[in-house]
């Protein structure tokens, strides 16, 4: 039984009592996919030279913050909650899911980057485009990470580890990742392989050792949530604890004159490390708590939409990336992006991605469907 000064035994049942969908978790996944589309369109449309000119610095910081702590970390913690709530809890099911996600990741690489640059090479005959065909096929992103996380959790399940032990392992992994320097940053193939585990360069986002702490804490949290008897009191305490940790830690970093924007700006964000994770995790906890208290006003069609987006978040993710890369590449040949046009494109791509995921679900399931 979990017993701490904030989470005493009276908050929890010995048995699982919250086994249905948790609306606050659905809302977290909705926010994560929205911020992903926002930051992906923004970064694909503008370069660093546009910051302070075409795009105000304050807007850049807001969007990068949304695309940092409010994006992938939320997505991954929600994924961890989903792991805890999964009907099939055996290692084989987790491994099967992991293999499918990795295959989806490489199929996305082909449609998002490989095919795009192959078309550009066919038109321009540029050697650089041919290089980007290979580079595009070996990019590592959140689908590859999710697959690796499921495979690694399958291994930990074979070892019969408990949620708190898995969380402890993730902390050790984060320490190792913090100390591990890139060893294949200049090798496309080397980075494409080693980057699955350790950060190498900007094309190896979300390596396992740097990011596993997020699904691990989500998995731990999910097992707590399953047994909570008083969710209001539970989230009140999370809100207080998370706010306290965030304020105190931010104060320490400020006292040390650490630039907080370095946590979510640049390639260092993908390398993570304990310093960044310790700042981001309380933000995730605050979002979960706030969404719990907001969730009662989400009813009817709004609730159904949130549940649909949450259940199809992978398909929406795949659709938005394909739409973004092809659309932005074509538009860049004809018009210069502005803040207004980019924000309009964010809205259009978000709606189209949801519609495509819905259409796909009505026909035969999901994008890149495989037999297990």
pLDDT class of 90 with cuts at 50, 70, 90: very high
Can you tell me the distance from the alpha carbon of 66 to that of 57, in angstroms, rounded to the nearest whole number?
A: 14
Instruction: Count H helices and E strands in the chain, helices first.
Output: 17, 0
- Choose between 188 and 305: higher pLDDT: 305
CA within 13 Å, CB half, 159: 12
Q: pLDDT-based confidence at 367, cuts 50/70/90?
A: low
CA 170 to CA 215: how far, in whole Å?
Answer: 9
Cα Rg of the chain, angstroms: 21
How does residue 368 score in pLDDT terms, banded at 50, 70 and 90? low
Work out the percent of the chain whose per-residue pLDDT is above 90: 73
Q: What pLDDT band is residue 372 in, cutting at 50, 70 and 90?
A: very low
* pLDDT at residue 106 greater than cutoff 80: yes
Q: Residues 337-364: pLDDT tens digits?
A: 899 999 999 999 999 999 999 988 877 6
Which residue from 252, 240, 253 is spatially nearest to 282, judged by alpha carbons?
240
Structure confidence at residue 1 (pLDDT): 43
Closest Cα to residue 150, out of 100, 193, 217? 100
Cβ partners under 8 Å of residue 279, min gap 6: 69, 246, 249, 250, 253, 260, 263
Give residue 135's pLDDT.
87
% of the chain beyond a pLDDT of 70: 95
Across the range 107-123, mean pLDDT stands at: 91
Domain extents in the chain: 9-363
Task: Provide the 8-state DSSP code for 366.
Answer: S
* pLDDT digit string, tens, across residues 279-320: 999 999 999 999 999 999 999 999 999 999 999 999 999 999
Over residues 212-268, the pLDDT tens digits come to 999 999 999 999 999 999 999 999 999 999 999 999 999 999 999 999 999 999 888
CA distance 102 to 283: 28
Tell me which DSSP letter residue 160 carries: T
Whole-number pLDDT of residue 366: 55
Lowest model confidence (mean pLDDT) among 52-56, 79-83, 106-110 = 52-56
Residue 4, pLDDT > 70, answer: no
* Mean of pLDDT values over 106-112: 94
What is the pLDDT of the chain when averaged over all its residues?
A: 91
């Amino acid at each position: 039984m979990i017993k701490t000064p904030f989470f005493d035994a009276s908050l929890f049942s010995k048995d699982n009592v919250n086994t249905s969908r948790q609306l606050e978790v659905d809302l977290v996944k909705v926010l994560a996919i929205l911020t992903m589309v926002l930051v992906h369109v923004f970064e694909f449309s503008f370069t660093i030279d546009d910051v302070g000119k075409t795009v105000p610095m304050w807007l850049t910081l807001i969007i990068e913050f949304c695309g940092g702590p409010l994006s992938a970390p939320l997505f991954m913690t929600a994924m961890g909650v989903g792991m805890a709530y999964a009907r099939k809890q055996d290692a084989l099911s987790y491994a099967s899911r992991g293999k499918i996600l990795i295959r989806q990741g490489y199929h996305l690489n082909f449609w998002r980057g490989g095919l795009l640059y192959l078309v550009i090479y066919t038109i321009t005959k540029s050697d650089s485009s041919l290089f980007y065909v290979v580079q595009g096929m070996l990019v590592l992103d959140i689908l590859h990470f999710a697959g690796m996380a499921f495979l690694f959790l399958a291994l930990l399940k074979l070892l019969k580890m408990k949620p708190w032990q898995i969380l402890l392992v993730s902390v050790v992994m984060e320490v190792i990742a913090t100390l591990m320097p890139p060893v294949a940053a200049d090798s496309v193939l080397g980075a494409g392989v080693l980057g699955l585990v350790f950060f190498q360069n900007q094309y190896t986002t979300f390596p396992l050792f740097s990011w596993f702490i997020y699904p691990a804490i989500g998995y731990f949290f999910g097992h707590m949530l399953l047994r909570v008897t008083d969710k209001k009191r539970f989230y009140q305490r999370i809100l207080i604890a998370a706010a306290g940790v965030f304020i105190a830690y931010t104060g320490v970093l400020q006292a040390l004159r650490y630039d907080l924007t370095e946590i979510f700006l640049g390639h260092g964000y993908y390398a993570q490390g304990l310093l960044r994770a310790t700042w981001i995790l309380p933000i995730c906890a605050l979002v979960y708590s706030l969404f719990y208290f907001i969730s009662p006003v989400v009813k009817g069609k709004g609730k159904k939409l949130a549940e649909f987006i949450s259940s199809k978040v992978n398909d929406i993710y795949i659709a938005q990336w394909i739409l973004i890369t092809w659309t932005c590449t074509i538009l860049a040949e004809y018009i210069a992006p502005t803040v207004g046009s980019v924000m309009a494109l964010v809205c259009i791509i978000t709606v189209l991605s949801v519609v495509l995921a819905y259409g796909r679900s009505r026909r035969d399931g999901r994008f890149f469907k495989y037999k297990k």
